[in-house]
A and B are shown apart, each in its own frame.
Chain A
């Protein structure tokens, strides 16, 4: 849907998007002066759930915005995609930036926001520049800015780039960052809908969420919902990485069996055996391959299996993977990316990493697994933002599902999977289609 008809780097421009039917929803809304409530109702009917990871119903979120609040209101788009495994927003912005611009403009119309920012991950700077180019096109065409399409509706939209901080994907850290500060999350309440950017009411959605809006407006909420399954409406982008033959983004209806998705991605690399899957970005609990093969790709099914659909980032690991080493790398990531604001995360992520690190390096102790469980329990639910939980869930789930492998490490001071096998399994691999 969002990526349908896109042609890689060749068809991202305004004229291409318009040729694909782009901006028709915005034009109709502006021309018909569609009531704000009607837009939000359509969105609610679609059961579109936030595509950034939390899966919060978008229509409900928009309805929280105090539309009658006098004074400035803001929109923010969260394109700070840095959760290991997630790379869908980059492709949306690269191949179809105008879908995000149109989605945000419709959102601004529906919520009475006069100004918006798209916060783009610093590492994809070329995409930031492309989005700036797309904004210039839209501005030139009167699709954003003052008196959009000759109406009395105005919306100024700008791009803001990150510069290397995963935490800015947390929505209040993102707001702090737009304000020119460190990306340290705010405690909630107050929520951004009442106290957001510059202290003003603000709604923040993920790139894919905004990009879905024009399509929902065009096809109707119910039709969108029917693409997926109840409570799991619509199409969703899944980013598949790891030990598959064709890593990449796949836009499929929610509810598609994992096995089909794996098939689309060319199946397991080298025909090796599936060992484990992280189904929703590195923060979601890992699931054994066998469990995953029984899941469908939607919020409810993955949740029932004990993990989260999250951002739809599927990391596939085969039998050559050492689970301790895999966790060590993820734990290092959270240690490295903790913002340092609140105690449990600042002190705890380093502790977790060091314990996993010593297990991996043959220095594990008998009670280390208990220690990991205890330290994660002391972090979870005690921090300002979700990074504490995000750092803890991988640890808990790796230990839960692959405890024997950890115990083997501690006892034998070496890895269950021979080192050469691991190395062979993680050689540089580039799909022939790339």
Chain B
């Protein structure tokens, strides 16, 4: 269900924890699985659970609790814009509106070509960099003026 490379990454995560605490690696394992497959269908969550010898529902609890896991398919690029108060004071909401307008979608929607999904984010711990957004969970983009948003969308569009 997962590539050899992903499994090796998961094994490295498992090794961080005491031998009888494989479950500790579930957050990393779900992250690795999601990176490979784009989102977390139930079969994948069950696979990860079995791999870590934990009940599938316990893995599902984790996958549904932390909001960076995607339990539904998303576009090729997921853009998450922080609109929390400190960001909003420096244009977070405006930045989000600009992205919406550029992509023609609202929060929690995906462009018809399947390229972009837009999400509203909570505090990313980078309020000084407002406006801030995340690309595909792992790439943080700071000080996102409209020009930088244009550039970012253009770059992503090519990928």
Give chain A's interface residues, CB within 8 Å of chain B.
Answer: 72, 81-87, 89-90, 115, 117, 121-126, 158, 160-166, 177-183, 198, 239-243, 247-249, 282, 313, 315-317, 321, 326, 329-330, 333, 336-337, 339, 423, 425-430, 434
Partner of B140, one of A81, A123, A326: A123
Between A and B, 11 residue pairs with Cβ closer than 8 Å are: A85-B123, A90-B126, A124-B124, A161-B28, A164-B122, A181-B62, A282-B84, A282-B85, A427-B91, A430-B90, A430-B143
Complex Cα distance, B152 from A292, in Å, reads 39
Contact between chains at B91 and A426 (CB < 8 Å): yes
Q: Which of A87, A160, A243, A282 contacts B16 (CB 8 A)?
A: A160
Q: How far is the CA of A85 from the CA of B98 in the complex (A)?
A: 23
User: Is B75's beta carbon under 8 Å from chain A?
Assistant: no
CA distance A90 to B128 in the complex (A): 11
Which residues of the other chain, A, contact B22 by a CB distance below 8 angstroms? 180
B65 is contacted by which of A183, A242, A282 (Cβ under 8 Å)?
A: A183
Q: How far is the CB of A376 from chain B (nearest CB, A)?
A: 18
Q: Which of A89, A178, A183, A317 contacts B125 (CB 8 A)?
A: A89
Known contacts A123-B125, A123-B134, A163-B31, A180 near B24 by CB under 8 Å: yes
Q: How far is B128's CA from A85's CA once the two chains are assembled, in angstroms?
A: 8
Closest-CB distance, B149 to chain A (whole angstroms): 9
B38 sits at the interface (CB 8 A):
no
Cβ contact within 8 Å between A163 and B123 = no
B4 contacts partner chain A, Cβ-Cβ < 8 Å: no
B residues in contact (CB < 8 Å) with A: 16-18, 21-28, 30-31, 52, 54, 58, 61-62, 65-69, 83-91, 93-95, 98, 121-131, 134, 137-140, 142-146
> Are the C-beta atoms of B128 and A82 separated by less than 8 Å?
no
Are B84 and A241 touching (Cβ within 8 A)? no
Other A-B pairs beyond A163-B31, A241-B87, A242-B90, 11, CB < 8 Å: A85-B85, A160-B24, A161-B28, A162-B27, A163-B66, A181-B58, A247-B128, A247-B130, A315-B127, A333-B84, A430-B143
Residues of A within 8 A of B31 (CB): 161, 163
Contact of A179 among B24, B121, B129, B145 (CB under 8 A): B24
User: Given A180-B25, A180-B26, A430-B143, are A315 and B129 also a contact pair (CB < 8 Å)?
Assistant: no
Instruction: Give the residues in chain B near A83, CB-CB below 8 Å.
Output: 123
Question: For A198, what are the chain B residues with a Cβ–Cβ distance below 8 Å?
Answer: 18, 21
Known A87-B127, A90-B126, A434-B142; judge A182-B62 contact (CB<8 A): yes
Check if B27 sits within 8 Å of A317, measured CB to CB.
no
